[in-house]
Amino acid sequence: EIVMTQSPATLSVSPGERATLSCRASQSVSSTLAWYQQKPGQAPRLLIYDASTRATGIPARFSGSGSGTEFSLTISSLQSEDFAVYYCQQYITWPLTFGGGTKVEIK
């Protein structure tokens, strides 16, 4: 099983600042990595797939990068609606696995 490790667990950021979230895979997943955003009481929402492709309707302030085992999600200028939990997920092999999540909170 590929283990996905996200860091930090919690990120405190002021509105308007840049946030960078990390995701590490225990073995190479090439570019088969997705990022999701989840707000309290809501279902996850796909932000990024194939490591760097924004999903339909996702603002340009969200960007993904990386390949192999190291990935990052950057939010260039945090808006109030961006405070949420973010998960990465690999889909190169079964079982599909998610990272433990990074909570982005208001500083």
Partner 1 sequence: EVQLVESGGGLVQPGGSLRLSCAASGFAFSSYAMVWVRQAPEKGLEWVSALTHSGASTTYADSVKGRCTISRDNSKNTLYLQMNSLRAEDTAVYYCAKAAGPGFSGYQYYMGVWGKGTTVSVSS
In the complex, least distance from residue 72 CB atom to partner 1, rounded to whole angstroms: 17
Query: Which positions ≥6 away from 74 have C-beta within 8 Å?
Result: 18, 19, 20, 21, 62, 63, 64, 65
86 binds partner 1 (CB under 8 A): no
60 binds partner 1 (CB under 8 A): no
Residue with the two structure tokens 């997943």: 29
43 binds partner 1 (CB under 8 A): yes
- Look at residues 13, 18, 27, 8 and name the one whose alpha carbon lies nearest to residue 97: 27
For residues 3 and 98, the answer to whether their CB atoms sit within 8 Å is no
- 13 versus 55: smaller Cβ distance to partner 1: 55
The three-state secondary structure class of 82 is helix
- 16 versus 95: smaller Cβ distance to partner 1: 95
- 69 versus 97: smaller Cβ distance to partner 1: 97
State the residues that interact with partner 1 by CB under 8 A: 32, 34, 36, 38, 42-46, 49, 55-56, 87, 89, 91-101
